[in-house]
Amino acid sequence: MTATNASPSDVSNNSRPSDKLSDDQLVKMLYDMMLIRRFEEKTMQAYQQAKIGGFCHIYIGQEASAVGSISALKDDDPIVGAYRDHGFALARGMHPNYCMAEMYGKITGCAKGKGGSMHMFDRDRHMYGGHAIVGGQCPLGTGLGFSIQYEEKDNVALCYLGDGALNQGGFFESMNLAAIWNLPVIFVLENNNYSMGTHIARGTAMANDLSAKAQAFGMRYAECDGLDVLDVYNTFSDQVAMTRNAKNPQWERGNWDEIEYSREGSNPGPAFVNVKTYRYQGHSMSDPQKYRSKDEVGEYKERDPINILVNHLIEAGKATQDQCHELDSKAKQVSKDAITFAEESPDMPTEEMFTDVYANPFGPYIKGGLPNIITNENSGE
Amino acid sequence: MVSTNGRTLQYREALREAMEEEMRIDERIFLMGEEVGEYNGAYKVSQGMLEEFGPRRIVDSPISETGFGGLGVGAAMYGLRPIIEFMSWSFCLVAADQIINNAPKMLYMSGGQFGCPAVFRGNNGAGGQLGSTHSWVVESLFSHVPGLKLAVPSTPRDAKGLLKAGIRDPDPFFNLESERMLGMGLHGDKDYSRYQHANKWAPPENDKDFIIELCKADIKKPGTDCTIVTDGRPVHFALEAAEALEEEGIDVEVVDVRTYRPLDIETIAGSVRRTGYAVVVDQSWPFASVGAEVASQIYEHCFDDLDNQVLRVHNDDIPAPYSRQREQDMLPNAKKIVDAVRSVTYNA
Amino acid sequence: MAVTVEMPKLSDTMEEGTLIKWAVKVGDTVSAGDHLADVETDKATMELQAFDDGTVAKLILDEGATVPVGQVILILAEDGESVEDAAKTEVSTAPAPAKEEPPAEPASAGGSDEPEKAPEPAKPEPQKPAPAPAKPIAAATPTPSPQAPASGSVKISPLARKLADEHGLDLNKIVGTGPDGRIIKRDVLKAAQDGTARPSAGGASAPPMAAPQAIALESKTTQVPGMRKTIAKRLVESKTTVPHFQVSVAINMDPLMEMRATLNQRLASQGIKLSVNDFITRAVALAATQHPVINSSWMGDTIVQHGTVNVGTAISLPEERGGGLVVAVCRDVQNKSMMQISSEVKELAGAARGRGLSPEQMSDSTITISNLGMPQFGVTQFNAIVNPPNAAIVAVGAAIEKPVVRDVYGEKKIVIGHEMNATLSGDHRVIDGASAAEYLTTFRSLLENPVGLLV
Ligand SMILES: Cc1ncc(C[n+]2csc(CCOP(=O)(O)OP(=O)(O)O)c2C)c(N)n1
Ligand SMILES: [Mg+2]
């Protein structure tokens, strides 16, 4: 079978999911993007003031990718991704204070200062972490999809990855497992053209037609303009709908020759979505960006994802210039407050170093009945 | 002859019993691995489980250790209780990133939000003439990593009790089984009763709550003259050595660590304090191994109780050779242990 | 209010940066994201971006300058502020607090338009947070055994030591049967059973490895005897007023030792025994005749060069004679034979240690010898304090056997030879280093060709 670029909006191009977004929802999307932008500016500044350490990857330019895709999810759809994760955390609703405090290594950080910039986790918001080993999150996302199917829930797992992860074995194994078991997971390629300084065409076979990656596994493929948050939203609204309630054909034992893997229409299954985006900043804070021209960056800035939405809202009469300014000021202030919060928060205390190594350091082991194993209940100490 | 209630339960059956009992209790538990289902298990550990639990919970995975090892981590984070079977621990190395970089660090890196209550299990140690790539012993590699728990059961009873404890435990649990012991117990009392305390070696019947607490070393044979600290399959070499030494009037105590992480140093040190001598036996290569760690901890805890240095018996420091006799030579065995005990007790 | 821009941290390991090139000049307007300068980090040259809008008021760094992360490098005038005013903003050249420190003061959380505060300048001595208390998790670390370490000679296992301690046994009386005679458990148990190795009476419970028996040192105060006072006064005077310097030589004593042995054999029947010191005394005097500057005295306005060589020899007095040090003087040594010198010096030494020296026997030295080469000392080299008004003192050590390089039939070989060190301390007001070296060269050659001393 061939992979299809199935999008209902192609069929009935007059009605797109974004048409049904309320003004409030649209404004919220704009604000989320502005918040990410302003927050990341503050992050850079704090990094340069040596308040933030380690490796730090800025999401500026890619805001529409996280905001557009997450807006298409239910609140309890789990997501997992890579280390360029501040944008996801904020788009998922993590309070900017906790995100910034984490980067400051403070106890008030989302992971108590144990994770840092590359490891943002938020259990309450079903964010299963930023993961710093390239491609390492792919099997985890597959596990989330597996769990949803196992529990027969109607959620969808989103597993984000950079174009660099396309070349990792774990990615292929994950695609294969998702395909053979028809897991409710979407592999979201945040294709910003570069893994560090390596252009995708230099590192990835078939870079000019990434549908081949999906096709190899008989998986649905879609792509979208990652600078246009509404296009991202529309694409994910469709894809998520076509992924929910994916059923495992192998739950029926029998004649393997006749397993049916068709995933269109009424038969949902996993997908691979190529979000074409761009990062304005260097790979990390220490990247002099010798591998691309200023003109190239400049061209992308002409199509700034925030401006695109601002223009759209103003043209459509859904917001005024002043309102947009006001939103931006708010985003600035909230980001500034996050810095203040992080600065004022206490460091991770020494005792805290030794917690969370084991959920159950030595026992006792409960005899009989259901064991007490819910890990997050053990985490409060 | 001591009684084992007449149970004839093989080590592999004990593992199966552990999984089955826990799966009946807890719907979130599933078993995933290569050939665990339709094939009935590469080593027949999971024989019949597909019939009882169905393909949703007994999942045949393709040969993708990174993929399904990491899937287990993700599922455990989500709240399921995966049991991931590696056909052999020798094959887990391709999944190293998932099982030692992701699993044991998730709880910590997420500040306690996401744990990883997954079990990883499979055969560990030399099978028989499998050559170097297939003869891995991983306890020394993995015990190095904080955040995981690791057991090396030596009897059907321990295999069942430890695996059940590991399944219930909220932390990632590595169960290192031995292909060479899977059939142990097939002949019931005959298999168990060679040594004095064999009656402990079959798990009790009809006790679904039978578990063996982690971090509890077990004195497999009490003695007064020298402590042998060991694990898993070498426990049997040590017991064999103990019989030979008894004839010479040396009464050794065999301590089975059962878990390296956490390590029950109290029991080990208690024994060494009584005997004054220690021989540490493992199946690892000697450099930076579990045996080296145990020896070092004995020095820390028992320095003034030692009448001689701690001696170690371990693999020769070479990749496992294929040749039958040479493979035997490179592994620890009863003779090496006898020599070490004689030497350490000044009876050489 | 002006906005300051600091040297940014642009990599995880960067500590300082070099300003390669400014991309803006005073008066330029910039907005957030604009390229301000190129900065060289430990990894690469990177662009420094503006985080705020404004007009460039002042470029604080010259191109090429290297400053620590956090130091202010540029000032921006904000909207409505004059460039001149902004340029006057006081900035510290100290870097912002490093991240190890707790932030000195939280940044203001005030109104939305409030500008950024410049980072607090670092305190001159950054206060590191107090070192964290030891971690609470690890299993009890064993406390080190308080017992004294085994005395080097006793090999014993830790357990055997503990048992011997418990039984109060004397380790030196236990025979070890372990490898290399190590005392092991069974040896201690046997000794305990046999009743051997009981410690000597009184010390029943003394730990076998306890510290050596205490040595009681008596503390007492004594009046300083007159001679000590004189010695003290003269030595202090010498050490503080005479500018000392030292020059040393190593002397091959093989020929002399050989000749002395032969001579003494011959002279034995006459009851004469020449000492090494006798030869040294003569050599000191003969060398002085060739280098008269060594045989001189500093007299303030004048330097006196002496017409004869009176060699003083430092002699330490026995405790029962009150101890101390005298210089016995052998006169006109340059004109005396070895035999004369030998018998005179012997007599002087005897007198010094016995009834005492006459004032005449202690005065008018022109050069001094201090010899600590007696075998009971084994001193190989030392520096002496000049004995005023002499300008030089020669300190000699023992002639000892050691590996030396010698010409053996035209080939350089390492052989066992006698070597002696002599160190001249000189009064630099009179003697220069080179003169001292020349003198010692003569002195050495006299001793190395000792026949010359006999004629
Ligand atoms: C296994 C592994 N190899 C190398 C790295 C170092 N590294 C970190 S990010 C990165 C580039 C990844 O690029 P991409 O996946 O495109 O993500 P992007 O940075 O563009 O968001 C590399 C090589 C790593 N973290 N993990
Ligand atoms: Mg990329």
A217, A220, A226, A229 alpha-carbon torsion, rounded to 10°: -150
Predicted confidence band at C210 (pLDDT cuts at 50, 70, 90)?
very low
Residue linked to tokens 């919060």: A341
C133 touches chain A (CB under 8 A): yes
**C354 within domain boundaries:** yes
**C439 within domain boundaries:** yes
A292 touches chain C (CB under 8 A): no
CATH number reported for the structural domain that contains residue C11 in this entry: 2.40.50.100
Query: Percentage of residues in chain A with pLDDT exceeding 70?
Result: 89
Q: Which of B134, B144, B197, B301 is catalytic?
A: B134
> Which position has the higher pLDDT, B195 or A324?
A324
Q: Which domains does chain A have, with CATH numbers?
A: 20-249+258-375 (3.40.50.970)
- Structural domain count of chain B: 2
Predicted confidence band at C103 (pLDDT cuts at 50, 70, 90)?
very low
Smallest CA separation from ligand 1 atom 19, residue: A195
Ligand 1 neighbourhood includes A134 CB (under 6 angstroms): yes
Contact B114 A115 (CB under 8 A): no
Nearest to A123 among B101, B113, B171 (CB): B113
Contact C44 A49 (CB under 8 A): no
B277, B139, B89, B186 alpha-carbon torsion, rounded to 10°: 30
Mean pLDDT, to the nearest integer, of A221-241?
Answer: 97
**C202 within domain boundaries:** no
Q: Which of A196, A277, A286 to mutate to test the pocket of ligand 1 (most atoms within 8 A of CB)?
A: A196
**Boundary-marking domain end, from C60, C87, C114:** C87
- Structural domain count of chain C: 2
**B288 within domain boundaries:** yes
CATH number reported for the structural domain that contains residue C379 in this entry: 3.30.559.10
Q: Do B157 and B26 belong together in one domain?
A: yes
From the CA of A168, give the closest atom in ligand 1.
1
Q: Do B16 and B139 belong together in one domain?
A: yes
Ligand 2 center to A164 CA (angstroms): 6
**C395 within domain boundaries:** yes
For position C263, what pLDDT does the model report?
86
For position C134, what pLDDT does the model report?
39
The overall average pLDDT reported for chain B is 92
What would the pLDDT profile of B139-151 be if each residue is shown by its tens digit?
999 999 999 999 9
Predicted confidence band at B199 (pLDDT cuts at 50, 70, 90)?
low
The token pair at B243 is 């019989």
For position B200, what pLDDT does the model report?
67
Ligand 1 center to C209 CA (angstroms): 62
CB-count burial class (<10 Å; 0-12, 13-18, 19+) for B233: buried
Greatest mean pLDDT range, A333-347, A361-375, C250-264 = A333-347
C244-252 and C411-427 as β-strands: parallel, antiparallel, unpaired?
Answer: antiparallel
For position C126, what pLDDT does the model report?
40
**B41 within domain boundaries:** yes
Q: Do B27 and B138 belong together in one domain?
A: yes
Taking a contact as any Cβ pair under 8 Å apart, which residues of chain B between 286 and 325 contact chain C?
300-301, 303-308
What would the pLDDT profile of A10-67 be if each residue is shown by its tens digit?
444 568 999 999 999 999 999 999 999 999 999 999 999 999 999 999 999 999 999 9
Ligand 1 center to A195 CA (angstroms): 6
Q: With a cut of 50, say whether residue A9 has pLDDT above it.
A: no
Ligand 1 neighbourhood includes A131 CB (under 6 angstroms): no
For position A96, what pLDDT does the model report?
97
Please count the residue pairs, one from chain A and one from chain C, whose beta carbons lie less than 8 angstroms apart: 78
Query: Which chain A residues are Cβ-neighbours of B266 within 8 angstroms?
Result: none
Find the residue in C nearest to B262 (Cα): C139
Residue B134 annotated to the active site: yes
What would the pLDDT profile of A159-183 be if each residue is shown by its tens digit?
999 999 999 999 999 999 999 999 9
CB-count burial class (<10 Å; 0-12, 13-18, 19+) for A50: buried
| CA gap C70, A50 in Å, rounded | 8
Q: With a cut of 80, say whether residue B3 has pLDDT above it.
A: no
Contact C159 B346 (CB under 8 A): no
**Boundary-marking domain end, from B177, B195, B228:** B177
For position A262, what pLDDT does the model report?
59
Distances (CA, A) of A183 to A95, A157, B71, B259, B342: 31, 9, 11, 36, 60
Q: With a cut of 70, say whether residue C150 has pLDDT above it.
A: no
For position C152, what pLDDT does the model report?
52
Predicted confidence band at C148 (pLDDT cuts at 50, 70, 90)?
very low
Q: Which of B17, B21, B22, B65 is catalytic?
A: B65
For position C352, what pLDDT does the model report?
83
**B156 within domain boundaries:** yes
A45 touches chain C (CB under 8 A): yes
Nearest to C142 among B301, B306, B308 (CB): B301
Query: Percentage of residues in chain A with pLDDT exceeding 90?
Result: 81
CATH number reported for the structural domain that contains residue B299 in this entry: 3.40.50.920
Sign of CA dihedral B86, B89, B94, B97: positive
Mean pLDDT, to the nearest integer, of A275-290?
Answer: 92
B224 touches chain C (CB under 8 A): no
**Boundary-marking domain end, from C18, C52, C87:** C87
Q: Do B89 and B169 belong together in one domain?
A: yes
**B192 within domain boundaries:** no
**C263 within domain boundaries:** yes
For position B6, what pLDDT does the model report?
59
Contact C46 A350 (CB under 8 A): no
The token pair at A372 is 């007490």
Q: Do B24 and B172 belong together in one domain?
A: yes
Nearest to B67 among A114, A142, A374 (CB): A142
- Most distant CA pair in chain B: distance in Å? 59
The overall average pLDDT reported for chain A is 90
* HSE-up of residue B322 (Cα within 13 Å, Cβ side): 3
What would the pLDDT profile of A252-261 be if each residue is shown by its tens digit?
888 788 776 6
What would the pLDDT profile of B281-291 be if each residue is shown by its tens digit?
999 999 999 99
Q: Do B53 and B165 belong together in one domain?
A: yes
Smallest CA separation from ligand 1 atom 11, residue: A195
Contact B307 C184 (CB under 8 A): yes
**B126 within domain boundaries:** yes
**B251 within domain boundaries:** yes
Mean pLDDT, to the nearest integer, of C173-195?
Answer: 90
Residue B17 annotated to the active site: no
CATH number reported for the structural domain that contains residue B105 in this entry: 3.40.50.970
What would the pLDDT profile of C37-94 be if each residue is shown by its tens digit?
998 887 778 888 888 888 999 999 899 889 898 899 999 998 888 888 888 888 776 6
**C318 within domain boundaries:** yes
The overall average pLDDT reported for chain C is 81
Sign of CA dihedral A227, A228, A229, A231: negative
Residue B81 pairs in a beta bridge with B29
The residues, ordered by sequence, that sit 6+ positions from C265 with a Cβ below 8 Å of its Cβ are none
Ligand 1 neighbourhood includes A133 CB (under 6 angstroms): yes
Contact C346, C315 (CB under 8 A): no
Residue C400 pairs in a beta bridge with C419
B252-256 and B226-230 as β-strands: parallel, antiparallel, unpaired?
Answer: parallel
Contact B114, A123 (CB under 8 A): yes
C10 touches chain A (CB under 8 A): yes
Closest CA to A193 of A134, A277, A85: A277
A373 touches chain B (CB under 8 A): yes
**B191 within domain boundaries:** no
Domain carrying residue C327? 243-454
Closest CA to B256 of B236, B272, B276, B273: B236
Q: Do B21 and B168 belong together in one domain?
A: yes
Query: Which chain A residues are Cβ-neighbours of C47 within 8 angstroms?
Result: 288-289
Query: Which chain A residues are Cβ-neighbours of B76 within 8 angstroms?
Result: 143
Q: With a cut of 80, say whether residue B190 has pLDDT above it.
A: no
For position B196, what pLDDT does the model report?
55
C52, C55, C60, C66 alpha-carbon torsion, rounded to 10°: 40
B63 touches chain A (CB under 8 A): no
Closest CA to A328 of A302, A342, A309, A301: A309
Ligand 2 center to A165 CA (angstroms): 8
| CA gap A244, A271 in Å, rounded | 11
What would the pLDDT profile of C106-132 be if each residue is shown by its tens digit?
333 333 343 444 444 444 444 444 444
From the CA of A195, give the closest atom in ligand 1.
13
Mean pLDDT, to the nearest integer, of B6-13?
Answer: 83
Mean pLDDT, to the nearest integer, of A96-124?
Answer: 95
| CA gap B118, B77 in Å, rounded | 9
What would the pLDDT profile of C296-355 be if each residue is shown by its tens digit?
999 888 999 999 999 999 988 877 766 778 889 999 999 998 888 998 988 888 888 877
From the candidates C145, C185, C188, which should be mutated to test the interface with B, based on the most B CB atoms within 10 A?
A: C185
Q: Do B165 and B20 belong together in one domain?
A: yes
For position A258, what pLDDT does the model report?
77
Question: Which stretches does DSSP call E strand in C293-379?
Answer: 296-298, 303-305, 311-316, 325-330, 367-371
**B148 within domain boundaries:** yes
Q: Do B112 and B247 belong together in one domain?
A: no
Smallest CA separation from ligand 1 atom 12, residue: A195
Domain carrying residue B157? 11-177
Ligand 1 neighbourhood includes A84 CB (under 6 angstroms): yes
Query: Which chain A residues are Cβ-neighbours of B70 within 8 angstroms?
Result: 136, 138-140, 142-143, 170, 174
Q: With a cut of 80, say whether residue B319 has pLDDT above it.
A: yes
From the candidates C4, C7, C11, C105, which should be mutated to test the interface with A, based on the most A CB atoms within 10 A?
A: C11
Taking a contact as any Cβ pair under 8 Å apart, which residues of chain A between 305 and 344 contact chain B?
none
Q: Do B41 and B131 belong together in one domain?
A: yes
Contact B300 C142 (CB under 8 A): yes
Predicted confidence band at C272 (pLDDT cuts at 50, 70, 90)?
confident
Query: Which chain C residues are Cβ-neighbours of B278 within 8 angstroms?
Result: none
Q: Specify the DSSP class assigned to residue A283.
A: S
For position A236, what pLDDT does the model report?
98
| CA gap B271, B263 in Å, rounded | 14
Q: With a cut of 50, say whether residue B178 has pLDDT above it.
A: yes
Ligand 2 center to A63 CA (angstroms): 14
> Which position has the higher pLDDT, A373 or A126?
A126
What would the pLDDT profile of B13-51 be if each residue is shown by its tens digit?
999 999 999 999 999 999 999 999 999 999 999 999 999
Mean pLDDT, to the nearest integer, of A360-364?
Answer: 65
For position A372, what pLDDT does the model report?
35
**∠ at Cα A16 (A10, A18), nearest 5°?**
145
For position C426, what pLDDT does the model report?
95
Predicted confidence band at A370 (pLDDT cuts at 50, 70, 90)?
very low
**∠ at Cα A338 (A335, A339), nearest 5°?**
95
Ligand 1 neighbourhood includes A165 CB (under 6 angstroms): yes
> Which position has the higher pLDDT, A141 or C134?
A141
Query: Which chain A residues are Cβ-neighbours of C8 within 8 angstroms?
Result: 48-49
**C260 within domain boundaries:** yes
**Boundary-marking domain end, from C58, C87, C116:** C87
Residue linked to tokens 């008066």: C27
A51 touches chain C (CB under 8 A): yes
- Long-range CB pairs of C147-154 (<8 Å, 24+ gap) are C147/C207, C147/C209, C148/C207, C148/C209, C148/C210, C148/C211, C149/C209, C150/C209, C151/C209, C154/C183, C154/C209
| CA gap B283, B267 in Å, rounded | 21
**C285 within domain boundaries:** yes
Query: Which chain C residues are Cβ-neighbours of B308 within 8 angstroms?
Result: 157, 178, 184
